[in-house]
């Protein structure tokens, strides 16, 4: 199989040809047809996250077809279209797993970080963590749902039911969650980097009633705000934009330092929370919602061998929506 592999954080991915292995008990082998490029992949490649299992094949927004079943896999069949997300395995026995919070598992494996991911022509996955994707929609269009959509969904649920919702950073996750929020009857306010008029127009085209710079004060106090951009300076700005009792959700796995801010930005029972990873229930809930709403992802397709270019373009923000690698 062909793959793009990370040997040393901070250096480019290398194209390699690897022997294909058979799935072990409880595993499946998937012929990858598309894999989204997530900001977390960029954090892994740039060495901003601790302890990736090097060398590692990144990629955790995997769409493909099952082409080999390990012993004991009964709920999936050969040829079935499945998706593999970031959550690749949980222990099932730690405090968090036993509380139903497997997203916080003490002994997890994460796809494309501590087990090999989908920047490849094939991937082995634990069958229990793969989602059935049905047969509606194009493979590449579905790929961003597996993380941008899923983590976006968890952060939206965490934001509560407030009507006025701010989205800071209008990339892959926000472009999906804006569609969900609008379908739920919410009013969306989109914040981009100052001067990013293309991004602001993109947000309006997806139903945002207001789009502006993250430095701006929105025209109404927000019930909640979700931060998708990995910039800690946005935290006090978002707290200032939400009403008393409002909530700010940090949705990224990595963020630059949050600057000191006045206590009165938090006072008034405002809440500041983070979202970590996903549960399989999040996946089932979100994929059902996505199908009902008929979410349309905006994607830029790159060949697998151009993974480094896709990462570079994500870093500079040179496309709207999401990048997807196709073998």
Positions touching Zn ion (CB under 5 A) are 38, 40, 90-91, 94, 97, 105, 147
Pick 56 or 105: Cβ nearer Zn ion: 105
Q: Is 156 exposed, middle or buried (0-12, 13-18, 19+ CB in 10 A)?
A: buried
For the CB of residue 112, give the shortest distance to Zn ion in the complex, in Å: 8
Which of 296, 174, 159, 157 shows the shortest CA–CA distance to 230?
174
Would you say 105 or 165 has its CB closer to Zn ion?
A: 105
Contact in structure between 168 and 228 (CB atoms under 8 Å): yes
List Cα–Cα distances, 209 to 176, 200, 229, 246, in angstroms: 15, 11, 20, 20
Match 């892959």 to its residue by tokens: 172
Our CB check for Zn ion shows the closer of 103 and 200 to be 103
Contact 162, 284 (CB under 8 A): no
Nearest distance in Å: CB 297, Zn ion: 14
Phi, psi of 77, rounded to the nearest 5 degrees: -130, 160
- C-alpha torsion sign, points 122, 126, 131, 135: positive
Which helix (H) or strand (E) is 82 found in, with range?
Answer: strand 81-84
Cβ distance to Zn ion smaller for residue 262 or 315: 315
- Closer residue to Zn ion in complex, CB, 152/327: 152
Closer residue to Zn ion (CB): 1 or 91? 91
We find the least distance from the C-beta atom of residue 108 to Zn ion, in angstroms, to be: 7
Please give the Cα distance from 201 to 323 (Å, whole number).
Answer: 19
């Amino acid at each position: 199989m062909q793959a793009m592999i990370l040997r040393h954080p901070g250096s480019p991915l290398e194209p390699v040809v690897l022997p294909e292995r058979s799935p072990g008990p409880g595993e499946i082998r998937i012929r990858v047809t598309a894999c989204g490029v997530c900001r977390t992949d960029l954090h892994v490649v740039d060495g901003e996250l601790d302890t990736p299992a090097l060398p590692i094949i990144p990629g955790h927004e995997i769409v493909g077809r099952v082409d080999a079943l390990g012993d004991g896999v009964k709920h999936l069949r050969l040829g079935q279209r499945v998706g593999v997300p970031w959550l690749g395995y949980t222990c099932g026995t730690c405090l968090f797993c036993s509380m139903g919070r497997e997203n916080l598992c003490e002994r997890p494996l994460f796809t494309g970080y501590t087990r090999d991911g989908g920047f490849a022509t094939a991937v082995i996955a634990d069958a229990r963590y793969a989602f059935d994707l049905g047969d509606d929609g194009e493979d590449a269009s579905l790929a961003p749902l597996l993380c941008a959509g899923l983590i976006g969904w968890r952060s939206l649920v965490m934001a509560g039911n407030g009507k006025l919702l701010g989205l800071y950073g209008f990339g892959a996750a926000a472009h999906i969650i804006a569609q969900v929020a609008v379908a739920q009857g919410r009013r969306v306010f989109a914040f981009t980097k100052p001067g990013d008029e293309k991004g602001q127009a993109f947000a309006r085209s997806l139903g945002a009633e207001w789009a502006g710079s993250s430095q701006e004060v929105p025209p109404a106090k927000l019930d909640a705000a979700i931060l998708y951009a990995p910039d800690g300076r946005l935290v006090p700005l978002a707290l200032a934009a939400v009403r008393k009792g409002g909530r700010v959700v940090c949705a990224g796995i990595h963020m630059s330092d949050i600057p000191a801010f006045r206590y009165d930005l938090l006072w008034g029972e405002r809440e500041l929370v983070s979202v970590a990873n996903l549960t399989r229930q999040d996946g089932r809930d979100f994929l059902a919602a996505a199908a009902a709403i008929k979410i349309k992802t905006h994607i830029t397709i790159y060949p697998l061998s151009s993974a480094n270019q896709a990462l570079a373009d994500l870093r500079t923000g040179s496309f709207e929506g999401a990048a997807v690698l196709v073998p």
